[in-house]
Structure 1
Amino acid sequence: MAQFAVRATLALAKRTTGAAFSAPAATRSYATEASPEAYGYYSDPLEHATGREKKMLIARLAGDDRYEPKIYYSAAASTKEKPNLGPSHFSDIIVGCMSEPDSGHTNFMTIRKGTPKRC
């Protein structure tokens, strides 16, 4: 029934204007880069960070690099009485050890505070 009403409306429009009734051609716009003025700038990560993440970001901005990953080389003459120490703010630390200078892989281990391990 609705299809008949549409056909009747189109036929009436064709009779009154005397020309064929057609819809305008659709055009597609091209994608462009969004401007910050139109959509706003990226928010500051410091505003959304909480807890440890915020503490780390504030320390990094202050120039404190204690949370950055570092490479520590083991001492040549380390013993059980004088071990290599790995600094950490937590009770666990993940350490990567290359057992031999020519090895092509790294052995990773988790070390807990107070329990020494040997590579």
Structure 2
Amino acid sequence: MGEVVAGFASFYGDCSNDIVELRALRDGLKMCERLGYTEIQANSDSTATIMTVMKGRHGNWKGWYWMQEIQVLINRIKPKISFTYREGNRAADYLASLACEQKRDLVFHGENQLPQELRRITREEALGLAVICF
């Protein structure tokens, strides 16, 4: 775990969890490409998203467009996309909740722009601290 370079929270409106996961992955990959990062590590706690990316296609027509964009980005920036348990994805969960609460898109550049709670989460993850969820 390194320092936070950038982050985002996008409000996608009313759509399925599968579509939200695909759009968030696409948006994250696009942000990495814009910032000049390649061969990054992307994690998702959605097995459906990981399986869709591994297959290279989405079974639902609503996911087709997002999957096409993801495939183009994968070919350009060569990310490693892996499954992580929910506990390992707390920062992403926090950002998703933030976008839903505020009903708007947010972009953060650097750790100093992150909300205090998110800074705490990223520091705990960087230190490898155990997380107990109930």
Q: Does the TM-score normalized on the shorter chain lie above 0.5?
A: no
Structure showing greater relative contact order (alpha-carbon pairs closer than 8 Å, 6 or more residues apart): 2
- What TM-score do you get using the length of structure 1 for normalisation? 0.21
- What TM-score do you get using the length of structure 2 for normalisation? 0.19
Rg bigger for which structure?
A: 1
